Structure 1
């Protein structure tokens, strides 16, 4: 199954990404800028301690005591996740580190044959039952409301789904049945969902976990342009 996969991300789209992430982090709309200064967002009710790098600028957000303790640490320590874990202390969980990539345009996508694609939940849920739990968690299909599941021989083979953040960005995840991998189905469905999102006026975002080689390769195959990093931990309830 052949697809073209060279995307673009124009300078003019940076402002949209910055705005979406500023709002997601609870920062002022114009907080991210070209001056590259570190941003600190203190919110004592935060349930997440998070470091985000966009276009070379880092934002650090979470409870005041944690943000202040981390404010002077190097970027790589924060974005590697180790510093977040160390400072947050016992009871934290859900460390995630990922590369952020974006696309604002993709080549015309014309499948060789008409695929059988379902937008229903049952097929996506069935696909999850065929996959290892770690893969299901990484893809995050359940968390994304717009789902596109490819059916092969009446069986779910791959699903691409996106969630809309701040009305601006479509965050994309892809899951492929183990016995259907290495056939290009993940890229195929990722492009299909990405084109749907672009047609709705959203920018496409892919958050590829830093240690997931397959996820990083998929992001590259989809044509998203790496532009940032993220690390976060979930905080225990007080």
Structure 2
């Protein structure tokens, strides 16, 4: 799938505002392949390294940025960030690949799909899923949610949370007993199309430790655009 330049501009703007950068700063750095941007954070309790469409930005407390100043982008891996902040008790939040889509093919399920907007159906799915899976998915923190039903059973749910009024951060959760049946693909596609219909750019974050999530994003038609790595102190 292709990704329009105008859509890249929207993604850049959302991340610029999320990180507290000037509008256009990250977009310009991406276009010119400039050295990475740096942003001192007020709280000082975390640091993040983001790569997006060829540009990059490191945000964190001033002492962290000073220590990282002589390191190349390639050195700012999760282990690299942890090493920089080791004496400040650095802990991993994780590293994720970033995917986006501005146009997706219509999904035609092989069987009739019943979708519920009732949070009670999502609660049924949550109760049937391991707590770690629920927490990693972020499925309980969404603005818009869609849960697939099979008879009276909740089998999969997906939805999105708005970022800066521009992006739709997607989340998906499938009943552990019913995975590898295409339900995640179908319900994620429904959520992504709903986000596009609302004028948002769907965003997919796949943990580097979750190849199945990355494969699902690519199957849906999302394009890989970068990564995000975060540690807390």
Equivalent positions of 1:197-208 (< 5 A) are 197-208=195-206
- SS of the residue corresponding to residue 198 of structure 1 reads helix
2:154 & 2:50 partners in 1: Cα distance? 34
Q: Which has the higher helix share?
A: 2
Give yes or no for the alignment of 1:88 onto 2:82: no
Measured against aligned partners, the alpha-carbon deviations of 1:149-182 in whole angstroms (never above 9, x if no partner) come to 1111211111112111000000111111111111
CA contact (8 A) 1:60 1:71 kept: no
Higher deviation after alignment, 108-117 or 216-225? 108-117
Distance 1:88 1:144, change over 3 A: farther
Unaligned runs of 5+ in 2: none
CA contact (8 A) 2:82 2:92 kept: no
1:173 & 1:44 partners in 2: Cα distance? 29
Distance 1:71 1:123, change over 3 A: farther
Structure 1 match to 2:20: 26
1:71 & 1:26 partners in 2: Cα distance? 20
Higher deviation after alignment, 192-201 or 143-152? 143-152
Distance 1:143 1:94, change over 3 A: farther
Equivalent positions of 1:1-238 (< 5 A) are 7-32=1-26, 33=28, 34-37=31-34, 38-78=36-76, 80-89=77-86, 90-235=88-233
CA contact (8 A) 1:81 1:95 kept: no
In the alignment of these two chains, the number of paired residues is: 228
Taking structure 1 as the reference length, the TM-score comes to: 0.90
Q: What is the CA distance between 1:183 and its match in structure 2?
A: 0.5
Q: What is the CA distance between 1:94 and its match in structure 2?
A: 4.2
- SS of the residue corresponding to residue 9 of structure 1 reads coil
CA contact (8 A) 2:121 2:154 kept: yes
2:184 & 2:167 partners in 1: Cα distance? 20
Unaligned runs of 5+ in 1: 1-6
Measured against aligned partners, the alpha-carbon deviations of 1:47-95 in whole angstroms (never above 9, x if no partner) come to 32100000111100011111221133222331x2112112222433342
Distance 1:134 1:76, change over 3 A: farther
- SS of the residue corresponding to residue 134 of structure 2 reads helix
Let me know the Cα RMSD of the aligned residues.
Answer: 1.6
Q: Which runs of 4+ in 1 moved over 4 A?
A: none
